[in-house]
Every structure is written in structure tokens, then in C-alpha cells.
């Protein structure tokens, strides 16, 4: 997740990271991490969440931007088998959500033109 300030909208944080901020803490799939300062406001503190969820926050000072990386809980790329709601554009710019295919088997294939 790219951010230009360390205060970001809660909705953006949830959409981009897949973490849902609930009263019991930050939840993803069957995992919930209790949070110390569980704000229920419209905005969240990126540095605090990064710290509590063990997500790296890389700062490019020259360009004034931060990049929040994925959590490392456990030692594997997947912490749950619940597929995240991959949301990407098609060639024509229409937005596709993976969760729209619930009820079907999906073969998700990555390729590249180089």
C-alpha cells in the first residue's frame, strides 16, 4: 500500500491490505490480532498498525511516500487459505473482483508479456 501521509482512510487500509478492523482487533481469514489502540474512526495511523501487525513501512524520503508491505505472521506467504479479494482492472479499465466468482472453481494464472 502506497501512502503520502501516515494517516490514511480506514476503508483504504482495509481494501488494500485485506485486514478488517473490528472491535476484537484486526482480522483476516480466521486470524484476529488484538490492537492496543483500536480506533473506530474514519482514519487510522499507518505506523501504529504496521508495528502491531508486523508489516514493514518503507519510506522514500526524497519523494515523500511510504510503502506498507504485507504482514509476516507465521513463516509462509499465505497465513490463511481464504483467497483475498484480488481487485484488478481489465484491459479496458473495468474493475474485476475475484470474489465475484464465488460458487465456481477458479484457476488464477499469472503470465507476463516479457
CB of 59 to other proteins, least distance (A): 9
SS3 state of residue 14: helix
Q: What's the CA gap between 105 and 9, in Å, rounded?
A: 33
Q: Select 36 or 109, whichever has its Cβ closest to other proteins.
A: 109
Q: Select 15 or 41, whichever has its Cβ closest to other proteins.
A: 15
18 binds other proteins (CB under 8 A): yes
Q: Select 42 or 112, whichever has its Cβ closest to other proteins.
A: 112
- Residue 110's contacts (CB-CB under 8 Å, 6 or more residues apart) are none
Contact pattern from residue 70 through residue 109 relative to other proteins, giving x for each residue in contact according to CB under 8 A and a dash for the rest: xxx-xxxxxxxxxxx-x-xxxx-x--x-xx-xxxxxxxxx
Residue 1 class from Cβ within 10 Å (0-12 exposed, 13-18 middle, 19+ buried)?
middle
For residues 76, 77, 78, 84, the Cα torsion angle rounded to the nearest 10 degrees is: 170
Site residues (CB under 8 A) for other proteins?
Answer: 1-2, 18, 54-58, 60, 62-63, 65, 67-72, 74-84, 86, 88-91, 93, 96, 98-99, 101-114
Amino acid at each position: 500500500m502506497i501512502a503520502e501521509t501516515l494517516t490514511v482512510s480506514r476503508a483504504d487500509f482495509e481494501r488494500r491490505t485485506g485486514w478488517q478492523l473490528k472491535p476484537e482487533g484486526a482480522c483476516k481469514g480466521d486470524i484476529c490480532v488484538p490492537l492496543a489502540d483500536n480506533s473506530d474512526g474514519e482514519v487510522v495511523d499507518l505506523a501504529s498498525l504496521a508495528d502491531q501487525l508486523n508489516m514493514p513501512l518503507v519510506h522514500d524520503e526524497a519523494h515523500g511516500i511510504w510503502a506498507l508491505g504485507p504482514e509476516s505472521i507465521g513463516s509462509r506467504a499465505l497465513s490463511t487459505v481464504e483467497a483475498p479479494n484480488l481487485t484488478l482492472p481489465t484491459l479496458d479499465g473495468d474493475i474485476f473482483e475475484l470474489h465475484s466468482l464465488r460458487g465456481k472453481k477458479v484457476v488464477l494464472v499469472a503470465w507476463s508479456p516479457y
